[in-house]
């Protein structure tokens, strides 16, 4: 498993590395201090499974960096780290494609829980903040035209964290057909990428299929 950590504080990076290496035996953690370095690592290692991205960085705003990651690497989930628990910031990063939001005040077990949640294809927010978030940002209305049964199947596999090739294999359809269904799903929820679709679908009551 490969994880990229982007944070401009050396001690924070090293601390995160020690925590992340307890996930499993073969965790490889890349540590960088700028967005530019992070983009380079992501290009060199397209098999990254997770990015931990600091919201405040010296060379680029974390929100802008998140949008770039979402556009260039839509299959790599990004967990935002911040010292703030402001629900407005959470709303912004989730709308921009983040797979989760965790505060830097979290203890190790809370952070590991957030990481496991995101790696499982779910969306993570700290529980107290999530309550406030749901009150301030209620789920949007769904699109007038419902998803087809096959589109719902694709969506449920997406919620399980599966890639397009995996979805194609499991549903016995071509990858091009998966992409067509995925485009329809994005239009249905009026979102720009897979992670935003997961956020919208989860809040509208859709659930992932069980992983085999």
At residue 109 the predicted structure's pLDDT band, cuts being 50, 70 and 90, is: confident
- Phi, psi (degrees; rounded to nearest 5) at 45: -130, 75
CA dist., res. 45 & res. 96, Å (int): 23
User: Are 2-136 and 149-203 in the same CATH fold?
Assistant: no
Higher pLDDT, 74 or 72: 72
Residue 31: band (very low, low, confident or very high) from pLDDT cuts 50, 70, 90: very high
CA distance 167 to 155: 9
CA distance 16 to 5: 8
pLDDT at 83: 80
Does the domain made of 2-136 have the CATH classification 3.40.640.10?
no
For 156-185, write each residue's pLDDT tens digit. Answer: 999 888 888 899 899 998 888 888 888 888
What confidence tier does 128 reach under pLDDT thresholds 50, 70, 90?
Answer: low
Indicate if the alpha-carbon torsion angle 207, 99, 161, 74 is positive or negative: positive
pLDDT at 88 over 90: no
Task: With beta carbons less than 8 A apart as the criterion, state whether 176 and 133 touch.
Answer: no
CATH of 149-203, one of 3.40.640.10, 3.40.50.720, 3.90.1150.10, 1.10.10.10: 1.10.10.10
Give the pLDDT of residue 131. 53
Whole-angstrom distance, CA of residue 59 vs CA of residue 75: 24
pTM over 0.75: no
Specify the pLDDT at position 142.
43
Contact 30, 5 (CB under 8 A): yes
């Amino acid at each position: 498993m490969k994880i990229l950590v982007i944070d401009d504080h050396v001690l924070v990076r090293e601390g995160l590395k020690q925590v992340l290496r307890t996930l499993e035996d073969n965790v490889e953690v890349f540590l960088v201090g700028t967005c530019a370095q992070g983009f380079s690592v992501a290009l060199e290692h397209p098999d990254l499974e997770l990015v931990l991205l600091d919201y405040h960085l010296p060379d680029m705003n974390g929100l802008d960096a998140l949008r770039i990651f979402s556009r260039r690497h839509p299959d790599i989930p990004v967990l935002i780290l911040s010292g703030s628990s402001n629900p407005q910031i959470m709303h912004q990063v989730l709308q921009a494609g983040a797979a989760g939001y965790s505060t830097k005040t979290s203890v190790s077990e809370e952070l590991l829980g957030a990481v496991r949640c995101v790696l499982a294809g779910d969306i993570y927010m700290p529980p107290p903040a999530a309550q406030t978030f749901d009150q301030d940002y209620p789920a949007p209305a769904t699109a007038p035209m419902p998803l087809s049964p096959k589109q719902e199947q694709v969506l449920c596999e997406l919620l399980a964290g599966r890639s397009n090739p995996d979805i194609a294999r499991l549903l016995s359809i071509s990858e091009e057909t998966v992409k067509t269904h995925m485009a329809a799903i994005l239009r249905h929820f009026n979102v720009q990428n897979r992670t935003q679709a997961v956020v919208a679908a989860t809040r509208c009551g859709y659930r992932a299929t069980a992983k085999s």
